[in-house]
Each structure stands twice: as C-alpha cells, then as structure tokens.
Amino acid sequence: MNALAHLALPAAEPLIDANWLDYTFVAIYFAFVLGIGVMARRSVSDSIDFFLSGRSLPAWVTGLAFISANLGAVEIMGMSANGAEIGLPTVHYFWVGAIPAMLFLGVVMMPFYYGSKVRSVPEFMFRRFGKGAHLVNAISFAFAQLLIAGVNLYLLGSIVHALLGWPLWVALIVAAAIVLSYITLGGLSAAIYNEVLQFFVIVASLLPLTLIGLHRVGGYGGLKDKITAFAESQPAGSKVAPAAQQLESWPGQALSGFDSPFWSVVGIVFGLGFVLSFGYWTTNFVEVQRAMASKSISAARKTPIIGAFPKMFVPFLVIFPGMVSAVLVKEIIDLKGGGSPPGGASGEGVKYNDALLLLMRDILPNGLLGLAIAGLLAAFMAGMAANISAFNTVFSYDLWQRYIRKDHSDDYYLRIGRLATVAATLIAIFTATLASSFSNIMDYLQTLFGFFNAPLFATFILGMFWKRMTATAGWVGLASGTLSAVLVAFLSEDAFGSLSQGVIPLSGQGASFVAASTAFVVDIVLSVVVSLATQPKPASELKGLVYSETPREDLVDPEEASLPWYQRTLPLAGIALVMVLVLNFAF
Amino acid sequence: MSDKKTDTSAEASGGHTAGAFDIRNIIGALLAIYGVLLLAAGLFMDTEEAKTGGVNANLWTGLALAVAGAVFLVWARLKPIIVPADVERVEDDPTRPAPRRRPGGH
C-alpha cells in the first residue's frame, strides 16, 4: 500500500511555495556555473588562460575557497539543526572545533605539506608506512566518502522534496542525476571559482534570513527571552536543555550530553577541539589543495589563516536562524516540546534538520526565497561532487591501479574512474536513506568523523613527528583505532542509531566525542607498542616525510620577512587567535 | 586597462589582464543581477510584510547586493589582475575529475 502511494506523483503538498521568480534565481545560478564550466573546458583545448588566471588568484580568493569547500551541508543544515536543538553551545564547532585547527594547519603543517610535496593522505601513508597502512587508509577513506556523499545527497534531495513535494526516493534519484552532470564540469580552477561564488550567494541569502529572523523575535534580547520562556514552560524531565545551557556557550553540557560541567569542557576541548577538528582540518586534502594552488609557501600558509576570519562569523549566520526557528516555526516548537509533527523535508515527520528550510518558508518573501534555495542547492551539490570525486580518485588510482590491475593505459583508468563515479552516485542514494534516519544530521556526521578522521590524525601526527614509528605500527594503529571507535559507538545509546546497544550511558554528540577520543588514544598506544617491537625504516627514506628528517630551508619562505607585518603568517594567526578568544568570552 | 602604457608593457613581457576570467567580474556580475532582480521584486511585487515583520526585505537586500556587485566590478576595473605569460601550470585537483590534459592524448 505504501509502495503504491509512493508511485503517485506529486505525493504531497510542497513544503515551500516557490514561484517563477524563485526559479529564476536558481536558473541564473546554474547558468553561471555552466558558463564557468564551459570557460574551463574551452581553455583546455585552445588556451591556458583560465588556468593561468587561476594561478594568479589573490590570497583572499583562495582563503574564501578554503572555507567555502567546507561550507556545505554540514555547516548549513547541521549547524542550524544543532542551533534549534541545543542553542548557542553549537558555536564550539567553530570557535573550538575549527579556528585553532585552521591556525595550526597554517602555522605548522602547511610548510611541511608544501615542502615535502605530499599531495594526498593515501600518498603520505604509502611513502611513510608502505602498503599495509596505505590499503587500510584507502579503503576507509573511500568508504567514508560514500557515507558523507549520502549526507549531502539526502539534504539535496530534501530540498527537491520541499520544493516539488515528490517522495524522498524520487527526489534522491533526481538530485543524484543533477550532481552527476555537475561533476563532469570543470577542474580545480573551475571548482575554486564556483566555491567563491557560492560563498557570496550563501552569505547573501543567510544574512537577510538571520536579520529578518532576529527582527521577528524582537532582536537578540527577544530571542533570549523566548528561549528562556520556552525552556521554563517544559515539564521537568523533558529533553529540552535549561535556558542557561542554551544561551551560554560554556560549559556546553547541552552539546556534549555530559552531566558534569568539568567533563563537558574536557570532552569539548579534547574530543571536539583536538581529536576531531585537528583530524578533520589537517588531513582533509579537499581543503588543503585549495591552499596548495597558491604561489608560495607564504601564500599557502596564509590561506587557512585568512579563511579563519570569515569562518569565525559563519556561526552567526547558521546557528541564529536555527535558534530563531525553535521559537518561531510551529513545527519545530512542537518537535522541541516532544511532539512529532508530520511532514518535513523527508516527508517522514519534521526533524531538526528541517529548521532552516521551515524558517525560510515562514519569513522569506518570494525572491529572497529563490536566492536562498539557489545558495543551498549550490552548497550541497558542490559538497557531494567533492565527495564523489575524492572517492573516484582513491578508488581508481589508489585501489584499482595499485592492487588490482597494474600497468594499463591512461584511457583504461579514466574509464574505470567514470564507472566509479556512476557507481558511487548510485551507492550514495542508499547511504542517503541511511542518513535520513538520523533526526540531527550532525550526530551522524560526528560519529563518522570519529571513525575515520580521529585514527587517521593519530597515525599521521605520530608518523610525522616520531621517526621510530614503523610500517607495521602504521596499519595496526589505523585499523585498531577505527575498530575501537566503532565499538564505542555500538555500545553507546544512539551514536549508531538503532544499532547501538546502550551499554555505555552516552548519547548525542558526547558519544561521538568519546568514540573519537578512544580511537585516538588506542591508535597512539598501539602504534607506540608495535613500533617498539618492530624494525623502523632507515632515516634516509624518511626525508620530507618526518619533521626531524626534513631540511629547515624546505619549510620557510625567504620572502616572508620582507612583507609588512599584516601580511605575515604569524601576526595574522595571532590576531585570529585573540579574536576567537574574545568571542568565546562574549557568548 | 585605463592605462595604455601599463597594458602594453605588460604585453611586452608576455602578460595581459585576466578580463572575464577575473573572478571579481564573475562575482560582481552575479551579485548585480541578483540585486537588480530583488530590487524590482521589492518595488513591483507583493512585499509579503506579514512574513518579514513589516520590512521590504527584497528591496533592501536587492539594494545591498547591487551595491556589492558594483563594488566588485569597479574594483576589478581599477586594479586588473595581470596574468604573467610564464607561470607554471596548475596541477589539476585529482579529487575532481575534469577535462584532463593528457600528453599525446587523442
């Protein structure tokens, strides 16, 4: 019966009432993206203007592309969902969970990447540890990309569903087809152009949304009053966090789910701030490559640091709308009060993930609504395209070429790559249905990052600074770290959704922080133990791969000292650090 | 572009301006188009002030975007990017399949 109901199109009233004007905004955006793709394509055949222009991009452009490559589904939908559910502590994902790691990347890691010519994580693993660690890393990376692509596809599909009212599975297939065609356009330069463009469209749509939202609830003061009144109206024992926890960022119990304020701070600083975020930012080559595209070590180092400045203020654009939504949109108020309102972007009941879409429906006039839809579509498409492409590269070159079919022609691997792209898109439709079972997409993503990024970061950082670490320790650490995180998630209350057993009394994002920290610690301990029992590589093979074996002059830019202070890496990083500290005290 | 001398000297050394490839022109054009459309919507269409709380949101956002777009276009005009002729090629991002340049490809 259900299946029959699904076949009738359109199955539901559209959530969002878009008119021709809104679709015009979307169409114009697609025309621009298409135009950039055509320019990139033409320049491949007859001239290299496009790529040359790409090489001379100024630092602010690569800086914006750097954060824009990350300003996708997670940031926009995940953070607004979090804002609606738990309020202000969500800012930790930015001020603790991103800025320090971005500064560390710029100050410490970037010279190393730039100097050692390492271009991808699997490549580093292969050169540093050999086949074992490379194989484990390549498989887990490919797997992670498919799961995260599913998250992006699910959010993209939910917008299509919200606009047209199609059932989610039809929306997913349509969205997958759109992404597949988008992927075939443009290379790195086109990607950077699109990302910078996307950044401005997203800011142009989220800023009015935030301002109008705050205006509707009577400014920030009015928002605080309404959240307080709502929290107090809830019966004792409800899941809604007390107003004080929703309106102060520290100690963030609403975020970590820990009862003790002390352990909450430890969990956020170590689990989120150190393991998860350093793991994410320092090993995420989708973003690191934006910086590599610049012309000198100095410019490459400054890319994440310049990106840190706008990044600091992104939370206001995504978290405030979520918080406003929780006191203004009747479905979200109902949901937060313990109800289960029907409908929503997935068609299976309203979730926190819908907070932003519903707020757009309620407060944006046609016109601005179209601008916002264009921005969201752009962000999710680019996000999923990046996941699929990353999967494709690792699958065809790191797995297929190295372990299955060696020494074939370029054409052969390109064909395999194309097949991998199509296959990955199809698989993403299934991982998207997996993602749709989580009410707050952020819980799911943090769990995934804990599985994949935390052990990777542990192995990476240990292998980079400790020359004694051996090849066997490389793959043992990675594999055991991932397995231990999976085990913790499995034993927790809900980090694995319905698969979790509830043996350990942890839920929400606190559980994923603990899973990530466990993975990190297990990885480090086992790596050290195994290293001491096995034979290290000779020092001559570690040049450019281990810090102490890399010549100093490979790590510095001789021209840096001649720049004025405000263009040098360290003073800029210092200013960013001070600003983020001030923000932490202010909220 | 306004200064012919810089232009020719740049050409002499093999460089030229980025022109349409200058990302500021692309951003400026998109923001300006969006701005004008929103401005028109704010002036001539239903402003739906019940939703926005009594503000003509389309009008004001349109105005801001049109100004921002103009700033980008003027900035690109005043300080054009000179593309040097002999920069090394950008290695394409291996994580994003693109039309590839293959040595001796068909």
Min Cα separation A254/chain B (Å)? 30
Average pLDDT over residues A378-384: 80
Each residue's pLDDT tens digit, A141-186? 888 889 888 988 888 888 888 877 778 888 888 888 877 877 766 5
pLDDT in tens, A80-102: 988 888 888 888 888 888 888 88
If pLDDT is split at 50, 70 and 90, which confidence band does A575 have? confident
What's the rounded mean pLDDT across residues B35-63?
A: 88
For residue A460, give the nearest of A441, A480, A444, A474 by alpha carbon: A474
> Which of A368, A399, A412 to mutate against chain B (most B CBs within 10 Å)?
A368
| Residues in chain B, overall count | 106
Which residues, including other chains, have CB under 8 Å from residue A146's CB and lie 6 or more apart?
A387, A391, A424, A427, A428, A431
Per-residue pLDDT tens digits for A293-348? 666 778 788 888 888 898 888 889 999 999 999 998 888 888 888 777 777 666 66
Is residue B10 very low, low, confident or very high in pLDDT (cuts 50, 70, 90)? very low
The verdict on a CB contact (< 8 Å) between B98 and A410 is: no
For residue B72, the chain A residue with the least C-alpha distance is A200
Alpha-carbon torsion (A259, A263, A264, A267), positive or negative = negative
CA distance A82 to A454: 22
Those residues whose C-beta lies under 8 Å from the C-beta of residue A191, and which sit 6 or more positions away, are: A65, A69, A382, A386, B93, B96
Q: How many CB atoms neighbour CB A461 within 10 A?
A: 18
CA distance A500 to A235: 28
The residue of chain B with its CA nearest to that of A208 is: B61
Flag whether pLDDT at A64 surpasses 80: yes
Task: Look at residue B103 in the predicted model and tell me its pLDDT.
Answer: 42
pLDDT of residue B16 exceeding 90, the answer is: no
Q: Bigger pLDDT: A49 or A506?
A: A506
In percent, the amount of chain A with pLDDT more than 90 equals 10
B61 vs A587, residue with greater confidence = B61
Interface list for A 21-40 with B (CB within 8 A): 21, 24-25, 28-29, 32, 36, 39-40
How distant is the Cα of B50 from the closest Cα of chain A, in angstroms?
A: 8
User: CB A365 to CB B38 under 8 A?
Assistant: no
Taking residues A258-277, report their average pLDDT: 78
Confidence of residue B71 (pLDDT cuts 50, 70, 90): very high
A&B contacts, CB < 8 Å: 168
B74 in a structural domain? yes
Out of A83-97, A268-282, A362-376, pick the least confident.
A268-282
B59 part of a folded domain = yes
Task: Classify residue B105: in a domain, yes or no.
Answer: no
pLDDT score, position A529: 93
* Amino acid found at A354: D
Question: Sign (positive/negative) of CA torsion A360, A361, A363, A364?
Answer: positive
The number of folded domains in chain B is 1
Question: pLDDT-based confidence at A349, cuts 50/70/90?
Answer: confident
Dihedral sign for Cα B43, B46, B48, B53, please: positive
What pLDDT is stored for residue B69 in this prediction? 94
If you average pLDDT over residues A108-121, what whole number do you get? 72
Residues A466-487 have pLDDT tens digits of 888 998 998 999 999 999 988 8
Lowest mean per-residue pLDDT among A431-440, A498-507, A534-543: A498-507
Tokens of A582: 């001030």
Q: Is residue B39 part of a domain?
A: yes
The chain A residue lying nearest B87, using CA atoms, is: A52
Please indicate, yes or no, if residue B18 is contained in any of the structural domains: no
B100 interaction partners in chain A (CB closer than 8 Å): 187, 414
Q: Residue A525: what pLDDT?
A: 94
Quote the CA–CA distance of A424 and A149 in Å, as a whole number: 9
Query: How far is the alpha carbon of A44 from chain B, nearest alpha carbon, in Å?
Result: 7
Cβ–Cβ contact A397 with B under 8 A: yes
Among all residues of chain B, which has the CA nearest to that of A29? B30
Q: Are A351 and A440 in contact (CB under 8 A)?
A: yes
| Cβ–Cβ below 8 Å for B41 and A21 | yes
Q: What is the mean pLDDT of residues A541-556?
A: 75
pLDDT attached to residue A4: 40
B49 inside domain: yes
**Least CB-CB distance to B57: which of A21, A119, A208?**
A208
Closest to A471 (Cα-Cα) out of A137, A128, A139: A128
* A222 touches B: beta carbon within 8 Å: no
What range defines the domain where residue B50 resides?
29-81
- Rounded mean pLDDT of chain A? 80
A42-51, A126-135, A406-415, A486-495 — most confident range: A126-135
pLDDT given at position A286? 67
Domain assignment present for residue B33? The answer is yes
pLDDT value of residue A50: 44
Residue ranges of domains in chain A, CATH in brackets: 52-586 (1.20.1730.10)
Within a domain: B75: yes
Alpha helices in A106-187 (DSSP H): 110-116, 121-129, 131-164, 168-183
Closest Cβ–Cβ partner in A58, A186, A201 for B98:
A186
Averaged pLDDT, B28-56: 88
Residue A524 pLDDT class (50, 70, 90 cuts): very high
